C-alpha cells in the first residue's frame, strides 16, 4: 500500500501536476485508473482497491484518504530507487561483500535483493 501511494504521488512531487486533484485525470499515473477515470489494461486496479474495502465506492474513498495522508511525507528514502547499492543494504554492506567472494545482481529499475532482481529480469525476457 505504501509503495502504491508513493508511486502514485510521484507526478505531484515532481511538479508534473499542480495539485492533488489533477492526479485523478493524469493519464500517465496509476492513480487515475484506480479512481476510474482512465483505463490501463495492464493495471490490476481490483487488487489495489480490495486492500481498501470490499465495495468499489468505499474502497476508492479509503484509498483517496490514504493517498492524501502521504502528500506531507514527501520523498521517502525507504521507497526511493533500486539498484545494487540499495539492494545490498547500502555502501557498507556492499564493501563487505566486495572483500569476500559474494556477488549480487542489481538493477536501478528494480527495488529488491539480488535473487528477486534476477527473477524479474528473467521474466521480462
More reliable by pLDDT, 50 or 97: 50
Q: In terms of domains, do 60 and 106 share one?
A: no
More reliable by pLDDT, 101 or 61: 61
Give the range among 1-10, 31-40, 94-103 with minimum mean pLDDT. Answer: 94-103
pLDDT value of residue 103: 58
Above 90 in pLDDT, residue 34?
yes
Q: In terms of domains, do 69 and 85 share one?
A: no
pLDDT class for 98, splitting at 50, 70, 90? low
pLDDT value of residue 115: 76
- Check if the beta carbon of residue 10 is closer than 8 Å to that of residue 29: yes
The total number of structural domains that make up the chain: 2
Q: In terms of domains, do 64 and 110 share one?
A: no
pLDDT value of residue 92: 76
Q: How far apart are CA 2 and CA 103, in angstroms?
A: 30
Domain ranges, residue 56: 2-73
Q: In terms of domains, do 17 and 44 share one?
A: yes
pLDDT value of residue 95: 72
Above 90 in pLDDT, residue 40?
no
Q: In terms of domains, do 6 and 34 share one?
A: yes
Above 60 in pLDDT, residue 12?
yes
> Per-residue pLDDT tens for 113-124?
677 877 888 888
C-alpha distance from residue 114 to each of 4, 107, 109 (Å): 22, 9, 13
- Find, among 56, 54, 58, 71, the residue nearest to 5 by Cα: 71
Q: In terms of domains, do 16 and 34 share one?
A: yes
Q: In terms of domains, do 100 and 49 share one?
A: no
Q: In terms of domains, do 60 and 14 share one?
A: yes
- Check if the beta carbon of residue 86 is closer than 8 Å to that of residue 74: no
Q: In terms of domains, do 118 and 60 share one?
A: no
Q: In terms of domains, do 54 and 106 share one?
A: no
Q: What is the mean pLDDT of the chain?
A: 82
Amino acid at each position: 500500500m505504501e509503495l502504491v501511494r508513493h508511486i502514485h504521488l510521484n507526478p505531484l512531487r515532481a511538479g508534473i501536476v499542480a495539485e492533488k486533484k489533477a492526479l485523478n485525470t493524469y493519464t500517465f499515473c496509476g492513480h487515475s485508473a484506480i479512481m476510474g477515470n482512465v483505463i490501463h489494461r495492464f493495471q490490476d486496479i481490483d487488487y489495489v482497491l480490495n486492500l481498501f474495502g470490499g465495495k468499489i465506492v468505499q474502497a476508492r474513498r479509503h484509498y483517496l484518504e490514504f493517498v492524501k495522508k502521504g502528500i506531507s511525507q514527501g520523498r521517502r528514502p525507504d521507497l526511493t530507487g533500486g539498484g545494487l547499492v540499495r539492494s545490498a543494504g547500502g555502501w557498507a554492506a556492499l564493501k563487505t561483500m566486495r572483500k569476500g567472494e559474494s556477488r549480487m545482481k542489481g538493477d536501478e529499475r528494480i527495488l529488491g535483493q539480488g535473487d528477486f532482481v534476477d527473477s524479474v529480469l528473467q521474466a521480462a525476457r
